[in-house]
Structure 1
Amino acid sequence: MSVAYWIVAGPLAAFYLYGGALKVVRSRDGLRPMMAWVDSVPMPAVRALGLVEVLGATGLVLPPLTGVAPWLALAAASGFVVLQLGAIRVHLRLGDRRVALNVTLLLAALATGWPATTWL
């Protein structure tokens, strides 16, 4: 089960760490080419979302590696499911039907949650 977890959780954590860090440090103009939705959200909310993504990525990786509070991996995966449900809603509300990446991330977070329960 551990190998299955890392196959899905590793790339998922890397994606969220990268995307979250970009949201924390880049300006609205720097984010706009890859995230058109930033114009409809206040910048403090974008920064907070980036911080949540970085913390979630950390929660997917550190607890299983250290054995400290392993339930945090399941909490992080569950948080990413909720985050992607919200992201899909925002995209659809803005008329953007390109949600394939969001659906893929949603499925990856769901797939990560199941093996994460082995540490509980």
Structure 2
Amino acid sequence: MNILLWIAQLFLAAVFITVGLAKAVVRMDRLQKAMDWVNDYEPKKVRAIGILETLGGFGLFFPGLYPIHELVIPLSAAGLAIIMVFAAISNFNRGEKQEMITNIVLFVLTSFVVIGRLALG
């Protein structure tokens, strides 16, 4: 179980750090071309989402290197799961049903990490 959790955590960390950093640092005009939803939000909100996703991604990986991972990893995963719920709602409201699949898969994986890490304690 621990190995599956680490595989999920590393995958999620790679996804959220990559996408989060893009939202946090890429110029807004380039982001708007790559991600349509960016046009619906103020740049500060997009940057905040990117920073939260990046921090959550790091929270899935780095605390495992230290004895503090029992609490930080499930909290990071829970925060990312919440972000995915709001992302799915946003995609639903925009009529982007295909994009919701990605949100749902990421939500399931982050929930798996939360439950698994709390169970292993």
Length-normalised TM-score, structure 1: 0.92
Shift in CA distance, 30/21, structure 1 to aligned 2, threshold 3 Å: same
Match of 2:101 in 1: 100
The structure richer in helix per residue is: 2
How many residue pairs were aligned? 120
Deviation at 1:95, TM superposition (A): 2.0
Runs of 4 or more consecutive aligned structure 1 residues displaced over 2 Å after TM superposition: none
Maintained 8 Å contact 1:64/1:119: no
Aligned residues: CA RMSD: 1.4
Match of 1:115 in 2: 116
Match of 1:19 in 2: 19
In structure 2, distance between residues paired with 1:67 and 1:35 = 38
Length-normalised TM-score, structure 2: 0.91
Percent of pairs with identical residues: 26
Deviation at 1:118, TM superposition (A): 4.6
Structure 1: segments with no counterpart, 5+ residues? none
Amino acid in the other structure paired with 1:109: T
Structure 2: segments with no counterpart, 5+ residues? none
